[in-house]
Amino acid sequence: MTWQEEFKRNITSAEALREVLPMTDEEYRLIHEEAERFPMAISRYYCSLIDPADPDDPIRRMAVPSSTGSSLEGLLDTSGEHSNTILPGIQHKYRQTTLVLVATQCAMYCRYCFRRRFVGMDEDPTAKVQDLIGYLHEHPEITNCLLSGGDAFLQDTKKLESWLEPLSREPQLDFIRLGTRTPVTFPIRITSDPSLPELLGRIGEKKQLYVVTHFNHPKEFTDEAYKALRMLQEKRVVIKNQTVLLKGVNADPDTLAELLRKVTAAGIVQHYIFQCRPVVGATNYFQVPIIEGSRIVNAANAMQNGLGKCADYTMSHVTGKIRILGQTDNGEMLFQYKQAKDPSRIGQFFTKRLSPDEKWLN
Ligand code: SF4
């Protein structure tokens, strides 16, 4: 079976989900209602990782709409993406980087997704390659592009090539990043289609490629996931991981520590542990208070070797990427701008006294 055929078998309705996961009538009604608001898609593979006997299964929590995740509290654009969009689908927030939306679909719609305002919806906010190339030429300060979405691998290989081929010829770019969660949620995209690793290998001869993926729980490291990762690594693609700290999924030191160890053992470079954004539907269900999150991350890091603790606990804020460093002796939280929309802030430290339940900097 091709990945496209398998993709069509995704579970996208409460009816289809009920055939594979036990649920009460009330749960069925709520899943149906919530999936009307923000689309549901769960690949058969990712669904098979759920323990049907465990209502609190972490994979289930990330993938299946729930009543407590249906709160409309929160925002749809938490990082100011709208104001950073300079051409359709092209964002320029940080001096050296452009973020480019190249796809609107994902193999699984994470229930905490910060782009849920458009992923899986009819709206098409994707960019055009000629717009991107023109913008790059006007902005020689840009040294890398992040192709994201949606999921950059959820387009056919020819379409992906139409992005990578011209970008690989741009001397101003040091490297290209590709944002994809397919190694985690849909590894068949990589393992069943040799044209994809072949393309990445060919482009990689001209321009270094980074795949930024998104493992959140140790259960996601399956034989299929390892196989997909290896196929990318064999093509000299550097894989980085960003994790979101999620209540009920990985927000305890032991689970997070095990995840970080598995990431390192798979030859993946640690990138970020993100504070979950205050997205509509995620604030109460997934967000962990900052003080508690900092304790969890520091405790998990204490169980790592040097490579395992390279991920910064970070808030992707409207003003920039803010590292959450920990609590000072007087009880204030210490932060530092790792990246900032206003370059004069980069590197700046600041402190703030937070209440134990504060989950974001407003
Ligand atoms: S893979 Fe990324 S873009 Fe897709 S639903 Fe999950 S968080 Fe959103």
Tally of CB atoms within 10 A around 214: 22
Whether 256 contacts 288, CB under 8 Å: no
* Order of strands across the sheet that contains 175-179: 85-87, 90-91, 97-101, 144-148, 175-179, 208-213, 238-245, 269-275, 312-317, 320-327, 333-340, 349-352
How far apart are the C-alpha atoms of 354 and 199, rounded to whole Å? Answer: 48
CA 84–ligand 1 middle distance (angstroms): 19
CA 151–ligand 1 middle distance (angstroms): 7
pLDDT tens per residue, range 12-29: 999 999 999 999 999 999
Residue of 7, 38, 99, 106 best suited for mutating to test ligand 1, as the one with most atoms within 8 Å of CB = 106
Q: What is the pTM of this model?
A: 0.96
Res 216 pLDDT > 90: yes
The confidence score (pLDDT) of residue 312 equals 95
Res 69 pLDDT > 80: no
Average pLDDT over residues 120-147: 95
Res 255 pLDDT > 60: yes
How far apart are the C-alpha atoms of 12 and 300, rounded to whole Å? Answer: 35
CA 18–ligand 1 middle distance (angstroms): 23
Q: Which ligand 1 atom sits closest to the C-alpha of 179?
A: 2
Q: Which ligand 1 atom sits closest to the C-alpha of 108?
A: 5
CA 148–ligand 1 middle distance (angstroms): 10
Res 110 pLDDT > 60: yes
Q: Residues with Cβ within 6 A of ligand 1?
A: 106, 109-110, 113, 115, 119, 149-151, 181
Question: Which CATH fold topology does 81-352 show?
Answer: TIM Barrel (3.20.20)
Whether 103 contacts 152, CB under 8 Å: yes
The confidence score (pLDDT) of residue 236 equals 97
Ramachandran region, residue 179 (left: φ > 0; alpha: ψ -120 to 50; beta: rest): beta
The confidence score (pLDDT) of residue 228 equals 98
Res 336 pLDDT > 70: yes
Q: Which two tokens stand for residue 43?
A: 């690949």
pLDDT tens per residue, range 272-309: 999 999 999 888 899 999 999 999 999 999 999 999 99
CA 318–ligand 1 middle distance (angstroms): 19
